[in-house]
Amino acid sequence: MKKNKFPLTNIGTVSLLMIFIVLCMVTFAALSLSSAAGDARSGQKIAEHSSGYYAASNEAEEILASLDDIFAKMYAQANTTEEYYQLITEALPSDVHPEPEGELSGGILADSPPLTLSYQIEINDSQALLVRIGVVPLEELAKKDSFSFYRILSWQKVITKTWEGDNSIQLIQ
């Protein structure tokens, strides 16, 4: 009589293949989870940064609207550009500062010495929104060449804190 033999190698091969497939699936699951957690942290940082920037931008727009009101009031009172600039400088809020004439680059308002104003709104502990505007001279406003009392010269994020990297390596402790 012939005895039926079951091949033992087939059972072992299938088991090893299943163990390998399960290990691959667990590894890919762990990598996917790690990647998703990193993306979530990155997305949270971007959302915080964006909301901080837009909050600062809204505050800068509110200051710009109050400055526009000041410019309109002083336009009605002034007769010369120098008087107009003087009245504006006296009526400025405490967080808006006139800049010296030499700091304007590019000659955007080249007709007469411009009055350049700047203010800074904090975005976070290391960045701020810097707004610089140039006040349009009375002569240009009188010609009706301008539809606004000011021109935005810059609206940019600036770094307010210096970066201090630590590149030291302790080889022996």
Q: What is the pLDDT along the chain (173 residues), one digit of tens a residue?
A: 566 666 555 567 788 889 999 999 999 999 999 999 999 999 999 999 999 999 999 999 999 999 999 998 988 888 888 888 888 888 888 778 777 654 444 333 344 457 889 999 999 988 999 999 988 888 887 777 567 888 899 999 999 888 877 778 877 76
DSSP-derived letter for residue 2 is: P
* Contact criterion met (CB below 8 Å) for 114 and 137: yes
Rounded CA separation 84/74 (Å):
6
**Angle CA(90)–CA(91)–CA(97) in degrees, nearest 5?**
75
Enter the pTM of the model: 0.69
